[in-house]
């Protein structure tokens, strides 16, 4: 399981010029799954994301978590996190989980995040999406289990 998180002031997801997910303050989370991922990785990743201390405290130090600030999540499924570019110029995605199973894992992941009383907005699995954001910091962190 691979996740790329960005601390954002705001973020939104549009499909066919319609906003389907939008947050103000929190994390934009891009998530991809491999064939070996299970509910164990989902639970560990969700816990890590909501407790990761990457928001500023009163002294300007990254010392607060998403839960501490009452932040939100915009979760976007992104199989391209498993792009393999070692050979040639066209990425291979053979390490990414097959779509039907990945969609189920994506739903489980978002439900797991919600268990922490976090508002989770989502993109639309398997669709062409336009993502807009204002990165805060910028802070971008890659996680993998």
Indicate which residues carry an active-site annotation.
Answer: 80
SS3 53: coil
Other CB atoms within a 10 A radius of the CB of residue 71 amount to: 20
Under 8 Å between Cβ of 121 and 21: yes
CA 58/CA 9 separation, integer angstroms: 17
Under 8 Å between Cβ of 73 and 121: yes
Closest alpha carbon to 106 in 37, 52, 36: 37
Retrieve residue 63's tokens.
């010392």
Question: Which residues are 32's β-sheet partners?
Answer: 2
Strands (E), 34-129: 55-56, 62-64, 72-77, 120-122
């Amino acid at each position: 399981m691979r996740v790329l998180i960005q601390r954002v002031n705001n973020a939104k997801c549009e499909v066919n010029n319609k906003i389907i997910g939008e947050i103000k303050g929190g994390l934009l989370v891009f998530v991809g799954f491999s064939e070996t991922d299970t509910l164990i990785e989902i639970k560990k990743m969700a816990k890590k994301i909501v407790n990761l201390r990457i928001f500023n405290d009163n002294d300007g130090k990254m010392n607060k978590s998403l839960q501490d600030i009452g932040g939100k999540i915009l979760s976007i499924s992104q199989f391209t996190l498993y792009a393999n570019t070692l050979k040639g110029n066209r990425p291979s995605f053979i390490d990414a989980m097959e779509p039907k199973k990945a969609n189920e894992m994506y739903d489980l992941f978002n439900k797991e995040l919600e268990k922490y009383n976090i508002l989770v907005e989502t993109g639309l699995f398997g669709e062409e999406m336009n993502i807009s954001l204002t990165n805060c910091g910028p802070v971008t962190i890659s996680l993998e289990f």
